[in-house]
Chains A and B, each alone.
Chain A
């Protein structure tokens, strides 16, 4: 600290000697007293907002309808914890399938082969165009259309019976099918835009070196697409985490359904919805935190100069 203050004392002398009078007024701001610009309106709005927030907090705390005692009682209830775990599990599996399948669809959509393009286009059109809730209920009721699942030739040809649809498509299978197939359509579009953002010159350079097909995609294009793909994918994961609450209609004991079961018995609807929301909020907060970290890392690795110039002023200020 003493070193820092003494250096600050020296600086005005140097600038006074070397610089002209006009620039001096700007550069030696550390020594000359400056009256900062005031923001009276900003201050007034801030005061009003603090008062409003305090009022809301007071009401939330004092309104007996919220039943904070019940919230506290259930927030770590085993049923809620296992529901939250199932929600996390569904999110991970559905996202993993969605990302892998979505990548394949994106590459198909950009393929030179028109058959692949049409198939991927039709898939995205259908699964993005129908509500995921409808898809979930559809898979759940697939046995109504196809009571027996058969692997065989179409138009009533011979085939091998795999099993009863009711047994094979359990609620959890229906949930995963619905969520992941729907997610794949969205991920396909995200990854397609990421691939589209890669400079055409990269393709030329890779082709000129003898690369093509799988090598060109996996080594050159997809790694560069990542930078563009990660932010919206983080969004999708958060969206999926909350979206899994839709599976409560299939009587799967995820977080929301677990809360519903409890309030169906004790009629404490609001407190249990608060319990579920607190868990969703906590889990999405963790995801947001990691998304931010991942974005910064990929952004820095890619454009070295801009991230450095952004960091330097910060270091100077501290």
Chain B
């Protein structure tokens, strides 16, 4: 939960009136949201509510149409000069993306590379670090997600749950300050969901700042510090898991929870 310290100083992510339009359809209609450093924030809500779009905005995989979005006190995708927002160059945006790791619903591992190659790709090619430093780190990460012996396998040889754990290891290899999870268990067979959530919980316990779009309300309740309910492009309600799940204030939250729980 938010502490009494100055918000601008501690926030890892700060959204002020963030809007996103695709053509004439407005997906995000002014999102105000603060993600505290070291906290786990879970975004819940019906599909089409804009959760995933907002998450993609944080990493600038989508361009923000209006409003301001700060990650670690840096404006995402734009530069502010003389009171005007200037679009950043693609190269600068790419560099800024390195501070956040992202895990996708459909894993998106690189199918033509082995597990180990997947993990060391960005640290060696993007960050330009030597292989001999990166490989032992990658091996440690693999062990951390419980797949220490699968470094030489190709992604297709692994189960969905294993692939998603590799994807988490790959994102962590860039030593991000922030981890973004986009429905990380939605594409998994039910019996494989647990192993991924366990890895995420262990990660949360290390103090990693996490933003998780999820339909796993059990995870949100147990691991989340902060739950944000979104619907139709706005934040309807947010607060501690206890507040949102046990005494939802808003009718739309109540309706959603009664359908899901």
- B98-115 contacts to A, CB under 8 A, are 98, 100-102, 104, 106, 108-112
Interface centre among A208, A220, A302, A304 (most CB of B within 10 A): A208
Interface residues of A in 4-36 (CB under 8 A from B): none
When the two chains form their complex, are residues A201 and B106 in contact, meaning their CB atoms are under 8 A apart?
yes
When the two chains form the complex, which single residue of B56, B94, B109 contacts A205, counting CB atoms closer than 8 Å?
B109
Shortest distance in angstroms between B60's beta carbon and chain A's nearest beta carbon? 9
Binds A, one of B67-75, B119-127, B228-236: B119-127
Within 8 A of A (CB), among B76-107: 90-91, 93-95, 97-98, 100-102, 104, 106
Query: What B residues does A59 contact at CB under 8 A?
Result: none
B116 at the interface (CB under 8 A from A): no
CB-CB < 8 A to A223: which residues of B? 112
CA distance A204 to B125 in the complex (A): 17
For A, the interface residue count at a CB cutoff of 8 angstroms equals: 23
B94, B110, B170: which contacts A210 (Cβ < 8 A)?
A: B94
What is the CB-to-nearest-CB distance from A84 to chain B, in angstroms, rounded to a whole number?
Answer: 37
Q: Are B157 and A209 in contact (CB under 8 A)?
A: no
Report how many residues on chain B are interfacial, defined by Cβ distance under 8 Å. Answer: 32
CA distance A210 to B92 in the complex (A): 10
User: Could you tell me if B97 and A210 are in contact, using CB atoms closer than 8 angstroms?
Assistant: yes
Given contacts A208-B59, A208-B61, A213 and B91 within 8 Å (CB-CB): yes
Which residues of chain A come closer than 8 Å to B125, judged between CB atoms?
211, 215, 219
How distant is the Cα of A215 from the Cα of B127 in the complex, in angstroms? Answer: 12
Instruction: Give complex CA distance A220, B126 in Å.
Output: 13
B-to-A contact residues, CB < 8 Å: 56, 59, 61, 90-91, 93-95, 97-98, 100-102, 104, 106, 108-112, 121-122, 125-127, 154, 156-157, 167, 170-171, 174
A-B interface, 10 closest residue pairs, ranked by CB to CB distance from nearest: A205-B108, A209-B122, A208-B102, A201-B108, A210-B98, A212-B94, A210-B126, A304-B156, A223-B112, A210-B97
